[in-house]
């Protein structure tokens, strides 16, 4: 489940009890702060409004396995997802069918992602074997 808390008083603003089948593994805020994204064991990536429990849109990576990491690019029009099946996908926010591209880093499952806000298209990928690989989209 996902719980959204009001920081000024500690009360729950929204509860999303069935956000994913299985665990929620990753959360990512959108730059404007009005929505956020979640990724789970079920392979779904979902966009949620910050104040409610109804998904706005979903992306499904059937071939990539559970979603373990998410990272938004500056500007908020695309994001990366890292998966247990050793793949990194790049998605456009407006598209819901298929990822725009994918990376196949060798080194096991993707544990974490970080986008470099100072260099367009650059993403760091932390892998299960302890390596961090830096990729640039062109």
Separation between Cα atoms, residue 121 and residue 17, nearest integer Å: 35
pLDDT in tens, 36-73: 899 999 999 988 887 777 888 888 887 899 999 999 99
| Per-residue model confidence as pLDDT tens digits over 82-105 | 999 999 999 998 876 788 888 888
Take residue 47 and report the two structure tokens written for it: 């966009």
At 33, is the pLDDT very low, low, confident or very high (cuts 50, 70, 90)? confident
Mean pLDDT of the chain, nearest integer = 87
Burial 39-56, CB ≥16 within 10 A → b, else e = bbbbbbbbbbeeeebeee
Structure-model confidence comparison of residues 7 and 78, the more confident one = 78
**Which band of pLDDT confidence, cut at 50, 70 and 90, is reported for residue 109?**
very high
Own/partner long-range contacts of 90-96 (Cβ < 8 Å, ≥24 apart) = 90/137, 91/45, 91/59, 93/47, 96/57, 96/58, 96/59
Q: What pLDDT score was predicted for residue 59? A: 87
Task: Supply the pLDDT for residue 72.
Answer: 93
Cα gap 128→17, rounded to integer Å = 29
Q: How many residues in the chain?
A: 138
More reliable by pLDDT, 13 or 127: 127
């Amino acid at each position: 489940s996902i719980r959204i808390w009001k920081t000024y008083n500690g009360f729950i603003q929204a509860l999303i009890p069935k956000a994913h089948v299985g665990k929620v593994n990753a959360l990512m805020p959108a730059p404007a702060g009005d929505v956020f994204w979640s990724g789970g064991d079920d392979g779904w990536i979902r966009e949620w409004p910050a104040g409610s429990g109804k998904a706005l849109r979903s992306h499904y990576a059937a071939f990539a396995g559970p979603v373990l990491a998410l990272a938004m690019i500056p500007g908020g029009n695309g994001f990366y997802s890292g998966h247990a099946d050793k793949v990194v996908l790049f998605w456009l926010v407006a598209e819901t069918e298929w990822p725009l591209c994918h990376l196949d880093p060798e080194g096991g499952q993707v544990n974490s992602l970080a986008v470099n806000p100072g260099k367009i298209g650059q993403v760091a990928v932390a892998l299960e074997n302890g390596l961090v690989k830096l990729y640039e989209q062109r």
